[in-house]
Structure 1
Amino acid sequence: MILLNSKKRLITLLIVLVCGIIIFFLGLGTTGLVDETPPLFAAAARAMSESGDWITPKVNGMFRFDKPPLIYWLMGFFYSLPKNEIWDSYGTLSARLPSALGSLFLMLMIGDTLFCWPQKSDRQFLTPIVASLGFALSPLIIIWSRTAVSDALLTGTLGISLLLFWRRMASENNDQCISAWVFLGFAILTKGPVAFVLALLTITSFLFSQKNWKTLLCKINPKKGFLITILISVPWYLLELVKEGKPFWDNFFGYHNFQRYTSVVNNHAEPFWFFLYIMILASLPFTPFLFHGIFKAFEDFLKSSKQSCNVAETLYIYSLCWLISVLIFFSLSATKLPSYWLPAIPAAAILITNSFINLKNSSKSYLFLWNFNILIFFGVTMAFFFSNNWLSSINDPEMPNLASELISSGIIFKAKLFFSLFTLLAIILFSLKSRNILLYLQILLLIGQSSLMPPIRKLADTSRQLPLRNISKLILDIRERRETLAMIGIRKPSLHFYSRQIVFYEPSTEEGLINLSDRLNTDRRENYEDQPDYEYKSLLVVIDEYSSGRHQWSKINHQKLGKFGIYNLWRIQKSDLNNYSKFLENSGYKSDWKNRKVEKF
Structure 2
Amino acid sequence: MFGFFIFIFQLGSTGLIDETPPLFAAASRAMSETGNWLTPRVNGLNRFDKPPLIYWLMGSFYSIPGHDLWDPLGTWAARLPSAMSSLMMMLFLGDTLMKHPVRNNTFPRRTALVASLAFALSPIVIVWGRIAVSDALLCCTLGISLLLNWRTYVYKDSSNNWWSAWVVLGLAVLTKGPVAIVLTLMTLIIFGYFQKDYLTLIKKTKPLKGLCISVLISSPWYIAELIVEGKPFFDSFFGYHNLQRLTSVVNSHSQPWWFFVMMLLIASFPFTPFLISGLINYFYKILSPNRSYYINKTDNSLLNFAGSWLISVFILFTFAATKLPSYWLPATPAAAIIIALSSGKSIHDDRKVSIHYLSISFFMFLMAILLSNPEIWINTINDPEMPELASELLESGLVTRAAIYFYLPAFISLYFAIGKKSRNLILLQLPFIIFQIFVMLPIWKLADGLRQKPIREVAKQLTLLHKENEEPIAMVGIKKPSLHFYANKLIFYESNDVVALVNLSERLREENRAEWTNETTFSEGRSPTVLVVIDKKTNDYPHWQGMNAKEISSFGIYKLLRLDIGTLKQREILLKKEGVVSDWRKPRNERF
User: Which range, TM-score by smaller chain?
Assistant: over 0.9
Match of 1:242 in 2: 227
Q: Alignment partner for residue 486 of structure 2, among 484, 498, 511? A: 498
Match of 1:412 in 2: 399
**Equivalents in 1 of 2:83, 2:529: separation in Å?**
43
CA contact (8 A) 1:296 1:354 kept: no
Question: Could you tell me how far 1:394 is from its partner in structure 2?
Answer: 1.2
**Equivalents in 1 of 2:422, 2:151: separation in Å?**
28
After TM superposition, the score normalised by the length of structure 2 is: 0.96
CA contact (8 A) 1:68 1:189 kept: yes
**TM alignment of 1:124-523, pairs within 5 A:** 124=107, 125-173=109-157, 174-302=159-287, 305-307=291-293, 309-479=296-466, 480-523=468-511
**Equivalents in 2 of 1:538, 1:60: separation in Å?**
20
Question: Could you tell me how far 1:216 is from its partner in structure 2?
Answer: 1.8
* 1:561 aligned counterpart, secondary structure: strand
User: What code does the residue aligned with 1:31 have?
Assistant: T
Match of 1:563 in 2: 554
Match of 1:8 in 2: none
The answer as to 2:585 corresponding to 1:600 is no
User: What code does the residue aligned with 2:523 have?
Assistant: Y
User: What code does the residue aligned with 1:453 have?
Assistant: M
User: What code does the residue aligned with 1:247 have?
Assistant: P
CA contact (8 A) 1:43 1:497 kept: yes
Question: Could you tell me how far 1:435 is from its partner in structure 2?
Answer: 4.1
Q: Alignment partner for residue 565 of structure 2, among 555, 568, 574? A: 574
CA contact (8 A) 2:162 2:206 kept: yes
Match of 1:85 in 2: 68
Question: Could you tell me how far 1:272 is from its partner in structure 2?
Answer: 0.8
**Equivalents in 2 of 1:271, 1:151: separation in Å?**
22
CA contact (8 A) 1:297 1:354 kept: no
Q: Alignment partner for residue 93 of structure 2, among 86, 94, 110? A: 110
Report the more deviating stretch, 49-58 or 298-307: 298-307
Question: Could you tell me how far 1:302 is from its partner in structure 2?
Answer: 4.1
Report the count of equivalent residues.
Answer: 584
* 2:579 aligned counterpart, secondary structure: coil
Report the more deviating stretch, 424-433 or 354-363: 424-433
User: What code does the residue aligned with 1:63 have?
Assistant: N
Question: Could you tell me how far 1:427 is from its partner in structure 2?
Answer: 1.9
**Equivalents in 1 of 2:265, 2:458: separation in Å?**
40
Report the more deviating stretch, 324-333 or 304-313: 304-313
Give CA-to-partner distance per residue, 1:32-67, whole Å, 9 cap, x none.
Answer: 000010000001101111111111111110111011
CA contact (8 A) 1:543 1:567 kept: yes
Report the more deviating stretch, 421-430 or 489-498: 421-430
CA contact (8 A) 2:195 2:304 kept: no
Question: Could you tell me how far 1:596 is from its partner in structure 2?
Answer: 4.3
Question: Could you tell me how far 1:222 is from its partner in structure 2?
Answer: 2.0
**Equivalents in 2 of 1:542, 1:248: separation in Å?**
31
Report the more deviating stretch, 157-166 or 300-309: 300-309
Give CA-to-partner distance per residue, 1:174-197, whole Å, 9 cap, x none.
Answer: 323111001100101100111100
**Equivalents in 2 of 1:517, 1:412: separation in Å?**
46
Q: Alignment partner for residue 575 of structure 2, among 581, 584, 595? A: 584
**Equivalents in 2 of 1:95, 1:539: separation in Å?**
30
Give CA-to-partner distance per residue, 1:475-504, whole Å, 9 cap, x none.
Answer: 111224321110010010111111111111
User: What code does the residue aligned with 1:490 have?
Assistant: I
Question: Could you tell me how far 1:426 is from its partner in structure 2?
Answer: 2.2
CA contact (8 A) 2:475 2:492 kept: yes
Could you tell me which runs of 5 or more consecutive residues in structure 2 were left unpaired when the two chains were aligned: none
Could you tell me which runs of 5 or more consecutive residues in structure 1 were left unpaired when the two chains were aligned: 1-17
Question: Could you tell me how far 1:453 is from its partner in structure 2?
Answer: 1.2
**TM alignment of 1:34-113, pairs within 5 A:** 34-113=17-96
* 2:187 aligned counterpart, secondary structure: helix
Question: Could you tell me how far 1:598 is from its partner in structure 2?
Answer: 4.5
User: What code does the residue aligned with 1:447 have?
Assistant: I
Give CA-to-partner distance per residue, 1:548-593, whole Å, 9 cap, x none.
Answer: 1111112112111111000010111111111111111112211111
User: What code does the residue aligned with 1:90 have?
Assistant: L
* 1:392 aligned counterpart, secondary structure: helix
CA RMSD of aligned residues (A): 1.4
Percent of matched pairs sharing the same residue: 47
CA contact (8 A) 2:498 2:575 kept: yes
CA contact (8 A) 2:43 2:516 kept: no
**Equivalents in 1 of 2:411, 2:34: separation in Å?**
56
**Equivalents in 1 of 2:549, 2:196: separation in Å?**
76
CA contact (8 A) 1:467 1:564 kept: yes
CA contact (8 A) 2:105 2:345 kept: no
User: What code does the residue aligned with 2:215 have?
Assistant: I
CA contact (8 A) 1:211 1:305 kept: no
**Equivalents in 2 of 1:514, 1:492: separation in Å?**
20
CA contact (8 A) 2:11 2:76 kept: yes
**Equivalents in 1 of 2:283, 2:43: separation in Å?**
49
Q: Alignment partner for residue 538 of structure 1, among 529, 539, 558? A: 529
User: What code does the residue aligned with 1:443 have?
Assistant: L
Question: Could you tell me how far 1:534 is from its partner in structure 2?
Answer: 3.0
User: What code does the residue aligned with 1:177 have?
Assistant: W
CA contact (8 A) 2:350 2:420 kept: no
